[in-house]
Chain A
């Protein structure tokens, strides 16, 4: 469609919007005939850009396809995977990849031997079961490709190929797809694919992909007496009225439709404090918070509750009266360490001394 340099596209847009755009255009245009000469250089852009070198392509072309094109040679054992998992993955996903703390569980049972034989996970039909990664995934390449490109979440692209093999092997063992003494490699990964519990669970037979795909649900544009009885089946219960915060502060204050004060019960008369403007979030102006956000700290810490590392509010409480707190914390932030709260805090060498001090000062002066 996109044929440059032609003006067909504009014409098409105008045509599809005859009633609006076209009338505006005629209103602006004079009756004079349009002179136009196309640029003889319009298609001379071939020299822009350059060829990619083989090393550049090797550096970026990391994807692995379902047929294992792109998969580097290598191997990793379940055993190695287990210790690596404890070190680099368990803090977020749990020791057995069943934690719900950072993300939905990757594995948590619900897969049977019959599923592995059939290539279809039956419990996907049971809406009371959590749908885990290993229940859904139909291609083992997906796990390899994704862990390699994006995990660990706070330090992606830091795993070697063999490490990725071992982590995939560990996950497969948690779902009882392979045994504990298994070693996964590029040689045998196709055999694992043949055991993947939901390998037959995907269909591409639907009209939502291809440009000319057809709809599977149809309505008509009936205009009169369309519904016999209108029955309200579901609405938000009163107890959940304020669950998204006070809606009054989420609507424009001088709108014809003002926000409901959801701290009041349903149907209450609108209060005269109706013209409430929310306080803009104060956090944008805090450079220490920006540093925390920009340096991946919030992947492991939260302001008010413990994640992998301690809540920053707890850190403040612990050190606020400590005379050397700024220097100590700045150093710990840059160099990492363990032994205070539990777990290991990785070094953060990308921060300058000044930046680390800025964060430390903010922590102890909060």
Chain B
């Protein structure tokens, strides 16, 4: 590579700069008509006079000289290297900000694109609605608390923890009331679990409908939850071991969300949680107290939890008798569908993104199972014809998101990327047509089909469904 024929794609690239497809900070060959080193050093020593200006016009027809100034100084250094290395940036030459400003830390302003978002037209109001987690911008297995997806039925509330109580009643020896202080005094557990809305990917039953992984799969988050095992509270209240079969969980918000949970599960791994990722729950996620029902659709993890009733029959509450019921092809609704079966998705690259050039990419994504742990994830680059096994990254925990990675070299040709998880029960994530054969396409909930992302020749990635 000849030293002087180098240009650099830098952040300051102006509209008048020729377009480059190389990523930022990459060194590239200069086009033939570019300024040569002599002209550049001449200009930087003597400025632009009319003869040099003419010269410039010749080599850079469309641009005006004034617009070229910043370009020239970059180009002047281009032969030496990256101006972002050669010219020290301001932050290297200044005194930074004080500690504790702000006293509660915020993401960098450069991260402003990575936000929870609503899907236009999905709901009629903003309080009975959903905001989706930006899975395409997240790493590892933990969701930053501020990016945890939201699903509210009657808006979110900021409950005063000093006035919050948890009551346990019904088929118990001694109905109980706990304050937050009481609950936080009890033995606690900290567990990492995903929460996925039963309607996640629900817009995709019929056809590809939404453009990015944020909207296809973003009703999904994973946090470390800290709290008291529900089993311990049920024991303390002396639940009726002969008669009790179900519990009802109820929220303290306007919707007073209620869900039935069968007792076996309630005694298994359900947490009455106050902590999330090392701090208290966020108000949108149920502050100061929520239920976490691992592996089960999110609606059961009742937020702002105020009451647990022990009973011997299911309760058929609104969100288990009118919604969160799955319509089958024969016209029957499956009621109390709860388990989030094994599912996976490639988060990068994914719909709405662009591969900037050919070559190596780390393809990464998430896998999870409501029935146990992720055993393996296979990835296909040819629409499901051939599969390669991905690496599972970090801790592989039950009913938690698991990060997978696999290397891939893009040759510039169209490709269809898919991932397929196998869980610890041996269950293999189904293809869309297998799911539809059994459940039709109108069940709204529990779509865990294999997701396809098509990479086009232009590098654009789009959401598609294969036959």
Interface set of A (CB-CB < 8 Å, partner B): 1-2, 4-5, 9, 13, 16-17, 19-21, 42, 45-46, 48-52, 56-57, 60-63, 65-67, 69, 100-103, 120-122, 124-125, 127, 131, 133, 136-139, 141-142, 145-146, 149-150, 153, 156-157, 201-204, 206-211, 213, 215-227, 230-236, 241, 243-245, 247, 249-260, 262, 266-267, 269-273, 275-281, 296, 298-299
Contact = CB atoms under 8 A, between A and B. Distances in A.
A257 B349 contact: yes
A102 B125 contact: yes
Contacts of B201: none
B231 A65 contact: no
B75 interface: no
A208 B321 contact: no
Nearest to A256: B361
Contacts of B15: 272-273
Nearest to B311: A65
Q: Which of B177, B211, B424 has the largest count of A CB atoms less than 10 A from its CB? A: B211
Q: Which of A63, A127, A146, A253 has the largest count of B CB atoms less than 10 A from its CB? A: A63
Q: Which 3 A-B pairs have the closest CB atoms?
A: A230-B383, A257-B353, A247-B352
Contacts of B416: 230, 232
B174 A51 contact: yes
B211 A247 contact: yes
B67 to A, nearest CB: 13
B150 interface: no
Give the bracket for the number of chain B residues in contact with chain A: 35 or more
A63 B322 contact: no
B466 A226 contact: no
A263 B334 CA distance: 42
B333 A203 contact: yes
A136 B314 CA distance: 18
A51 B209 CA distance: 52
B397 A204 contact: no
Given A103-B128, A138-B316, A259-B353, A57 B463 contact: no
A63 B315 contact: yes
A31 to B, nearest CB: 24
Contacts of B456: 267
Contact of B317 (A19, A63, A69, A254): A63
A150 B428 contact: no
B73 interface: no
B442 A9 contact: no
A28 to B, nearest CB: 14
B269 interface: yes
6 contacts: A2-B231, A48-B186, A50-B177, A125-B331, A139-B321, A232-B464
A56 B210 CA distance: 47
B266 to A, nearest CB: 10
A203 B334 contact: yes
A206 B331 contact: no
B462 interface: yes
A218 B262 CA distance: 25
Contacts of A131: 327
Nearest to A148: B256
Contact of B124 (A16, A103, A127, A276): A103
Contact of A218 (B382, B430, B452): B430
Contacts of A127: 442
B464 A235 contact: yes
B143 interface: no
Contacts of A157: 254, 256
Contact of B264 (A211, A221, A257): A211
Contacts of B318: 142, 145-146, 150
B38 interface: no
A218 B434 contact: yes
Contacts of B248: 63
Contacts of B333: 124, 136, 138, 201-203
B407 interface: no
Contact of A227 (B128, B384, B438): B384
Nearest to B172: A52
A199 to B, nearest CB: 11
Contacts of B349: 256-257
A22 to B, nearest CB: 10
A233 B465 contact: yes
B460 interface: yes
A203 B424 CA distance: 28
A218 B449 CA distance: 11
Contact of A267 (B176, B254, B460): B460
B365 to A, nearest CB: 12
Interface string B189-212: 100000000000000000111111
Interface in B310-352: 311, 313-318, 321-322, 325, 327-328, 331-339, 341, 348-350, 352
Given A63-B248, A250-B352, A221 B428 contact: yes
B124 A100 contact: yes
Contact of A16 (B382, B387, B398): B398
B434 A275 contact: no
A135 to B, nearest CB: 10
B229 to A, nearest CB: 4
